[in-house]
């Protein structure tokens, strides 16, 4: 086989593994951003964090109903504590995502990708 | 309210489900920190005793509950990478979990489902009578087809009975009784929803029951997260002592390397689990 084609096919293999690692890392982080509170299930994202902070800025901090991921109303007794927990989990997960994503980008072989 | 995990395991001549349940149960107990019980049959227990591993089972399982062994008329092709074998699936009694579980709230998992994270914890703590996964997440690339998403080309959404969480109450009893009824009348429902009736699939019986009880409509409330899945043509090639699983993922005529860590995973290639039993057992 022509060396140019061999090198291209080797790179294609690497790229397929790279894409799977990246896709599955995203899934893992998505899982970490699921948060259970008072029987409800929340998907932590920027809009939830921003909305919660808006409520706190408007002095709504106790016994606040929020719609969870299933659109069920869930009573949050202490919204400041709730905000701290979701913000902490969000930042921890995104830092981990950032670090692992950088590592994946730097790995230039299938062998190195599989160790990440 | 007592909460726990339940796993079914009925060994066949070709697949050691009891061994897989030991790995699955050990991992679930370690990562979710709740009790696990095994539902099995006399001949499988005899095999466990014969293989001198009962002590390990007693360490992992809070209860070992004996039930009648379901019939082994259910055969299907099971791949081990590119090799294929026609094997009996002894799994027709899943709906009996409502009666057999020793828990008020139960997480039912398949013996080839390995829990490596706390992802299911908030779902266990949430307030639903019954929860089931509404989708699978293929860890390969672009392999899921229509029949991984729907019961048939024209049928309702396919739910995955790999994970089910339920409270033991009247509503969940109606659900499991209906699953049992659908199993007893499987050919009728195959005609009605236009799916191929062989082999019997718990996923399909559970999906139809959910479809009916949701008022013949799609209701994703109470959905568990998608089941991250490797198919039976994928090959588990290495398990590291840190719990990183390396796979060769089948992509048509080719294989692509992939690894995963801290992620709950459904490993459908059962023989590749058995090949790595020592390293998997070290993780529990």
Tell me if A40 and B126 make a contact (CB, 8 A cut-off).
yes
B265 has a chain A CB within 8 A of its CB: no
List the single best residue of B105, B115, B127 to mutate versus A (max A Cβ within 10 A): B127
A114 has a chain B CB within 8 A of its CB: yes
**Would you state the pLDDT for residue B75?**
81
Residue by residue, what is the 3-state secondary structure of B118-161? CCCHHHHHCCCCEEEECCEEECCCCCCCHHHCECCCCCCECCEE
Place B57 in a pLDDT band, splitting at 50, 70 and 90: very high
Domain range annotation of chain A: 22-114
- CA A58 – CA A78 distance, rounded (Å): 14
Chain A and chain B share a number of CB contacts under 8 A equal to: 69
Tell me if A17 and B123 make a contact (CB, 8 A cut-off).
no
**Would you state the pLDDT for residue B283?**
96
- Closest to B123 (Cβ–Cβ): which among A32, A41, A114? A41
B218 has a chain A CB within 8 A of its CB: no
A4 has a chain B CB within 8 A of its CB: no
3-state DSSP helix/strand/coil percent for chain B, to nearest 5? 35, 30, 40
Find the CATH number of the domain harbouring B153: 3.90.550
Tell me if A27 and B228 make a contact (CB, 8 A cut-off).
yes
| pLDDT, tens digit, 9 for 90 and up, residues B59-69 | 999 999 999 99
Does residue A6 register a pLDDT over 90? no
- CA B97 – CA B37 distance, rounded (Å): 11
Angle made by CA atoms B118, B119, B125, in degrees to the nearest 5: 85
Of all residues in chain B, the percent with pLDDT exceeding 90 is: 81
Q: Is there a domain that residue B218 lies in?
A: yes
Contact between residue B107 and residue B22 where contact means Cβ atoms under 8 Å apart: no
**Would you state the pLDDT for residue B72?**
67
- CA B185 – CA B144 distance, rounded (Å): 28
Does residue B222 register a pLDDT over 90? no
A24 has a chain B CB within 8 A of its CB: yes
Q: Is there a domain that residue B144 lies in?
A: yes
Q: Is there a domain that residue B53 lies in?
A: yes
**B26: containing domain:** 3-76+90-230
CA dihedral B147, B25, B73, B148 (to 10 degrees): 0
Q: Is there a domain that residue B18 lies in?
A: yes
Q: Average pLDDT for residues A34-48, to the nearest whole number?
A: 93
Q: Is there a domain that residue B208 lies in?
A: yes
| pLDDT, tens digit, 9 for 90 and up, residues B123-169 | 999 889 999 999 999 999 889 899 999 999 999 999 999 999 999 99
Tell me if B122 and A27 make a contact (CB, 8 A cut-off).
no
Which segments of A34-87 are extended strands (E)? Answer: 34-37, 40-43, 62-67, 73-78
Place A28 in a pLDDT band, splitting at 50, 70 and 90: very high
Q: What is the ipTM metric for this complex?
A: 0.79
Q: Average pLDDT for residues A53-64, to the nearest whole number?
A: 97
Contact between residue A105 and residue A97 where contact means Cβ atoms under 8 Å apart: no
* A-proximal residues of B, 74-103, CB under 8 Å: none
| pLDDT, tens digit, 9 for 90 and up, residues B158-212 | 999 999 999 999 999 999 999 999 999 999 999 999 999 988 999 999 999 999 9
- Say what the pTM is: 0.91
Total domains in chain B come to: 1
Place B76 in a pLDDT band, splitting at 50, 70 and 90: confident
Q: Is there a domain that residue B13 lies in?
A: yes
**Would you state the pLDDT for residue B82?**
84
- Helix B170-184 vs helix B186-193: angle between axes, to the nearest 10 degrees? 90
- Mean per-residue pLDDT of chain B: 93
């Amino acid at each position: 086989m022509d060396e140019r084609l061999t090198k291209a096919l080797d790179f294609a293999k690497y790229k397929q593994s790279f894409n799977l690692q990246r896709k599955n890392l995203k899934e893992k982080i998505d899982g970490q951003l699921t948060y259970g509170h008072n029987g409800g299930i929340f998907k932590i994202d920027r809009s939830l964090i921003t909305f919660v902070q808006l409520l706190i800025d408007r002095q709504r901090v106790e016994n606040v109903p929020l719609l969870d991921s299933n659109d069920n109303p869930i009573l949050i007794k202490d919204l400041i504590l709730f905000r701290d927990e979701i913000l902490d989990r969000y930042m921890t997960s995104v830092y981990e995502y950032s670090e692992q994503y950088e590592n994946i980008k730097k790995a230039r072989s299938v062998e190195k990708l599989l160790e990440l | 309210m007592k909460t726990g995990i339940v796993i079914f395991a009925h060994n066949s001549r070709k697949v050691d489900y009891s061994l897989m349940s030991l790995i699955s149960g050990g991992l679930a107990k370690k990562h979710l920190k709740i009790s696990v019980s095994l539902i099995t049959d006399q001949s499988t227990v005899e095999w466990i005793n014969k293989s001198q591993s009962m002590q390990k089972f007693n360490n992992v399982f809070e209860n070992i509950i004996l039930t009648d062994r379901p019939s082994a008329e259910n055969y299907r092709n099971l791949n081990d990478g590119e090799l294929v074998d026609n094997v009996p699936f002894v799994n027709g009694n899943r709906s009996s979990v409502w009666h057999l579980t020793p828990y008020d709230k139960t997480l039912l998992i398949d013996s080839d489902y390995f829990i490596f994270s706390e992802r299911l914890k908030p779902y266990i703590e949430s307030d639903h009578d019954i929860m089931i996964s509404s989708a699978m997440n293929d860890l390969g690339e672009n392999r899921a087809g229509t029949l991984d998403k729907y019961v048939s080309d024209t049928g309702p959404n396919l739910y995955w009975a790999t994970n089910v969480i339920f409270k033991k109450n009247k509503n969940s009893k109606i659900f499991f009784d209906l699953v049992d009824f659908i199993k007893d009348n499987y050919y009728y429902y195959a005609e009605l929803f236009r799916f191929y009736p062989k082999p019997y699939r718990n996923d399909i019986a559970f999906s139809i029951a959910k479809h009916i009880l949701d008022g013949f409509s799609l209701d994703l409330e109470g959905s568990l997260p998608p089941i991250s899945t490797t198919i039976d043509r994928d090959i588990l090639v290495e398990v590291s002592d840190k719990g990183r699983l390396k796979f060769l993922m089948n992509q048509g005529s080719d294989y692509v390397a992939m690894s995963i860590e801290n992620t709950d995973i459904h490993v459908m290639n059962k023989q590749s689990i058995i090949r790595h039993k020592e390293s998997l057992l070290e993780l529990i």
